[in-house]
Amino acid sequence: MRRQMVSLTLSFALLATGCMPDIASAGTIVMNDNRAAVETEAEPVTDDQFEFNEYKYEDGIGDTLYFLVVKNNSDSTVAFESNGTAKDSNGNVLGSAECSIDVLGPDEQSITYFYFDGVTGIDSVDYTKTFDTDSYYKPVISNLDVEGNLNEQNATLTVTNKGSYAAQFVEAYALFFDADNNLIRYSTNYITDGDSEIKPGATLSAQLDSYDSYDHVEVYLTGRSDGSEGSSSSSSVSDDDFEKKEYLYSDSFSTMDYLVITNNSESTVGISGNATALDSSGNVIGAADCSIDVLAPKEQSICYFYFGNVQNVDHVEYQLSYSEDLYYKPVISNLDVQATINDANVVVTATNKGNYAAQFVEAYVLFFDASGNIVYTNSGYITDDDNEIKPGATLSEQIDTYESFDHVEVYLTGRADDF
């Protein structure tokens, strides 16, 4: 299935009119008007300029989500807010909630929902409709081209920003229905890079899961923009500055694609990645993100793309981005590591030789057979009660395996606050 949202291109023309004095031999005269433009109020909108579709979903813990799909048929860009009152079939009030959409441009469609905490048995929801034509944000949905792939237990979306400014906090919603059009499952996922954006021209993917068989799905996006081209997270490094090893591993439920990354540059960077999983026919069957908070020159660390409930992955296509605008300090080079290999586990011991605490240090162990195939993976945190290895401290963690193995590879992740 291929599903696309049409990109909307707005063209602006500046027209100048007026009378010019008859000046002899003046030739061509160009007048630049530097006076402030006169602001005009946006035309008010009415409820009948918008379409609403409503879907009710009761989760398994006693709550109800009441989705509103809103289509803007007006000529104005608006922000939407609503207050809803849930009632049972006898008209008794059961609960109340609020919802909103940051910005919605002309001809755009988006989604929001009332979350009725601890409320079930809802028959109807009475809700207000408030439209603000003085929105702080610029609309982005019409700038996003979407390609969808439907799989047995997910819908995988690939989104490209065709606009001239960054789309921020883009979130995808998938509503999964049975053949009788009952909403049986929903899933949400952000489709953004490490700056919470889709920058102009960029393409990112996300996987929206359904753990039930479904007949059809409806997909909607939310998002906004402050009008900028994107956060300044550019880096002086490129893919060529990093050595990468890739290991694909599937268990009985899901598939993981591990990336071992060595920083051969002279810069300390943060790394974020986005990936799609493909089968042997080239069909997109999953999507995932991964990241490494901080990696100093000559350091090596690991991250992995997790494709939940996805099997039969033939290969993975991924893209990495690098940022030198960091919140964290590197710690891996400060850690002396020893691995003791036993029949059914590996004990990883780390000593912090640095002068600041190493936080959230996690050891990843990849277990291989004699042919170099991964037979099992596992990880564990090597930290004290403060989630740290303090300067001079030595801590250990046991990483278990339930499969016979020939050899292992051990990698660490970690960071420290930059203050």
Model pLDDT for residues 272-286, shown as the tens digit of each residue: 999 999 999 999 999
Task: Report the pLDDT value the prediction gives residue 411, as an integer from 0 to 100.
Answer: 98
Q: 155-177: per-residue pLDDT in tens?
A: 999 999 999 999 999 999 999 99
Task: Report the pLDDT value the prediction gives residue 183, as an integer from 0 to 100.
Answer: 97
CB 347 within 8 A of CB 339: yes
Task: Report the pLDDT value the prediction gives residue 243, as an integer from 0 to 100.
Answer: 97
Give the model's confidence band at 376: pLDDT under 50 very low, under 70 low, under 90 confident, else very high. very high
Give the model's confidence band at 87: pLDDT under 50 very low, under 70 low, under 90 confident, else very high. very high
Over residues 305-320, the mean pLDDT reads 96
Task: Report the pLDDT value the prediction gives residue 135, as an integer from 0 to 100.
Answer: 87
Give the model's confidence band at 78: pLDDT under 50 very low, under 70 low, under 90 confident, else very high. very high
Residue 139 predicted with pLDDT over 70: yes
Residue 80 predicted with pLDDT over 70: yes
Give the model's confidence band at 419: pLDDT under 50 very low, under 70 low, under 90 confident, else very high. low
Separation of alpha carbons 408 and 370, rounded Å? 10
Task: Report the pLDDT value the prediction gives residue 368, as an integer from 0 to 100.
Answer: 98
Tell me the CB-side half-sphere exposure of residue 14, using CA atoms within 13 A: 3
Least confident window among 36-40, 45-49, 229-233, 273-277: 36-40
Residue 33 predicted with pLDDT over 80: no
Q: 51-63: per-residue pLDDT in tens?
A: 999 999 999 899 9
First and final CA of the chain: distance in angstroms?
49
Task: Report the pLDDT value the prediction gives residue 180, as an integer from 0 to 100.
Answer: 96
Residue 10 predicted with pLDDT over 80: no
Give the model's confidence band at 6: pLDDT under 50 very low, under 70 low, under 90 confident, else very high. very low
Task: Report the pLDDT value the prediction gives residue 44, as an integer from 0 to 100.
Answer: 85
- What percent of the chain has pLDDT above 70? 89
* Amino acid sitting at position 180: D
Least confident window among 27-41, 69-83, 210-224, 310-324: 27-41
Task: Report the pLDDT value the prediction gives residue 43, as an integer from 0 to 100.
Answer: 74
Over residues 387-413, the mean pLDDT reads 98
Burial 78-91 (b: 16+ CB within 10 A, else e): bbbebebbbbeeee
Q: 329-349: per-residue pLDDT in tens?
A: 999 999 999 999 999 999 999
Task: Report the pLDDT value the prediction gives residue 31, as an integer from 0 to 100.
Answer: 60
List all residues 6 or more positions away from 251 whose beta carbon is below 8 Å from its beta carbon: none
Separation of alpha carbons 142 and 144, rounded Å? 6
How much is the mean pLDDT over the chain? Answer: 90
Task: Report the pLDDT value the prediction gives residue 4, as an integer from 0 to 100.
Answer: 33
Residue showing tokens 């007048």: 31
Residue 239 predicted with pLDDT over 90: yes
Give the model's confidence band at 287: pLDDT under 50 very low, under 70 low, under 90 confident, else very high. very high
Least confident window among 3-12, 21-30, 123-132, 347-356: 3-12
Beta bridge partners of 282: none
Burial 285-312 (b: 16+ CB within 10 A, else e): bbbbbbebbbbbeebbbbbbbbbebbbe
Task: Report the pLDDT value the prediction gives residue 232, as an integer from 0 to 100.
Answer: 62
Task: Report the pLDDT value the prediction gives residue 9, as an integer from 0 to 100.
Answer: 30
